[in-house]
Amino acid sequence: MKNKKDTTNLNENLSVENNKAVVSKNSVEKTETKKLDGGTKVKERILSIDRFRGLCMFAMVCSFIFGALGAFSFLEPLIGHGAKGFQVLPGVSFADLFAPMFIFVIGLTMVRSFKSREAKYGTRMAYFQLATRFLALIGIGILFNGFENGWGDVFTGSKTFAELSIKIQIFAVMFWIAIALLLVYIVSLFFKNEKFKSVSLDLLKYFLAIAGIMAVYFILVSTGEKITAPVDGERFGGWEWDTLQNIGLAGLLALPFVKYDKWGKLTIVGITFVVLSVLMQNGLFPLANKILEGGIFGGFSWAGIMLLGAVFAEFKDDKFYWILSSILLLISVVLIISFNFTAAKRGCTPVYAMFCASISSLVWGGLNFLNNWKPKFDFFAIWGSNAILTYILTLVFVSVVMGGLLSEQLATLSVWASVGIWLLIMALFTVLNWLLNRKNIHIRM
């Protein structure tokens, strides 16, 4: 009887096209791999999550391009962070909303991802895999820093390799090792030797994870040194931190609670936010504000956003969804406006995290109403299908090439040429994502 009900529900909510199944109205618990009548296994996708992820990626790529092209300087209020941008709340700019939204989206799929791994490989392995994944993410981020802050300076002649800090030197060298391992893995794809493929992938993955561990170690040491400065003045920590490291750290901090039920997660987030708010309001904020996204301290708030994403995913079809969403919005707005609590992306204060999580839940809640609408060309869903690839390509081509190497030329470009470049890059990203999506290729960590 139950199977019959499941099948009926499935038939109502699935549209199978090119061996790809798309889900509309099922709860997250129901969205795991299911069997169709013919015994074919399909992995259902919640369109609103893809669309939301796509929306975040689209906004992020646009902000990178607008930032690199001087003709778009009039859009500074929209793309500027912190005090530079249009203030949605005191200390929170419009552009500050998108990074937390992306973390929120990761939270939406986190439990699902964990459960599917747990079903396949067992609980311990699921934890290990996800931890490796988040460490590798931190690794990618820090190796990019090694390239950008190390080789970037060496190539432009502003510093010699010897003048770089020892931490940057390490990551700069590791960058090329990672590239070599990536090439080996790409080569392995052309061979029919599964073991070669698997070993080269593992090598790359664990190498990135080791880089991630080193990055976390250096930032921890550095944070400690900021709190209690060494007497002899010698520093061992590293202060390199960026978006990918932040996402990875948030994932790592959220991971231990992934198996908790929604109320457990909510309690953990509540306690974390209360403790962190007390600390931030009493002297921690200036330290957290010194580093992008708050470093280790901010990581707890970002993890809170991720866990809230997981909580909202579990409340998706529950009436409590909107209650939680409205309460978070109300508490954060009242604390910021009425009680002057510090809200900032840089430092990621808990009230900022709460506000962004509530806005994210509103956007996702709205997108959920559109789950039954399935156009053939689903723009944002396409953009959201390969987020990590889009992000890395953006980092390489838009941020490093446009924002770094060609920055002087692009700063003086005319408006029409700038619009042309913007449209061209967006079109290229759209086509790339569309092609990969059509081939059902999803590049993940």
| Interface ranges with other proteins (CB under 8 A) | 87, 89-90, 319-320, 322-323, 325-327, 329-330, 333-334, 337-338
Residues 6 or more apart whose CB falls under 8 angstroms from that of 290 comprise 226
User: Quick one: which of 64, 69, 62 has its CA closest to 414?
Assistant: 69
- Whether the Cβ atoms of residue 183 and residue 196 lie closer than 8 Å to each other: no
Find the shortest distance in angstroms from Cβ 343 to other proteins: 12
Q: Which is nearer to other proteins, 339 or 373 (CB)?
A: 339
Residues 6 or more apart whose CB falls under 8 angstroms from that of 325 comprise 312, 358, 361, 362, 365
Find the shortest distance in angstroms from Cβ 326 to other proteins: 3
- Whether the Cβ atoms of residue 313 and residue 107 lie closer than 8 Å to each other: yes
H or E segment to which residue 23 belongs: strand 20-23
Q: What is the DSSP string of 414-442?
A: -HHHHHHHHHHHHHHHHHHHHHHHHTT--
Q: Which is nearer to other proteins, 115 or 345 (CB)?
A: 345
Find the shortest distance in angstroms from Cβ 337 to other proteins: 5
Find the shortest distance in angstroms from Cβ 86 to other proteins: 11
CA 382, 137, 130, 176 torsion: positive or negative? Answer: positive
CA distances (Å), origin 429, targets 61, 141, 398, 426, 432: 9, 21, 11, 5, 5
Find the shortest distance in angstroms from Cβ 329 to other proteins: 4
For residue 181, the one-letter residue type is L
- Whether the Cβ atoms of residue 308 and residue 104 lie closer than 8 Å to each other: yes
Find the shortest distance in angstroms from Cβ 18 to other proteins: 38
DSSP state of 435: H
Find the shortest distance in angstroms from Cβ 359 to other proteins: 11
Q: Which is nearer to other proteins, 222 or 368 (CB)?
A: 368
Find the shortest distance in angstroms from Cβ 83 to other proteins: 14
Q: Which is nearer to other proteins, 200 or 358 (CB)?
A: 358
Measured CA to CA, the distance from residue 75 to residue 65 in angstroms comes to: 11
Q: Which is nearer to other proteins, 353 or 413 (CB)?
A: 353
Q: Which is nearer to other proteins, 35 or 84 (CB)?
A: 84
- Whether the Cβ atoms of residue 357 and residue 325 lie closer than 8 Å to each other: no
Measured CA to CA, the distance from residue 287 to residue 300 in angstroms comes to: 14
Measured CA to CA, the distance from residue 251 to residue 270 in angstroms comes to: 17
Q: Which is nearer to other proteins, 144 or 315 (CB)?
A: 315
Q: Which is nearer to other proteins, 358 or 385 (CB)?
A: 358
Find the shortest distance in angstroms from Cβ 363 to other proteins: 14
Q: Which is nearer to other proteins, 88 or 445 (CB)?
A: 88
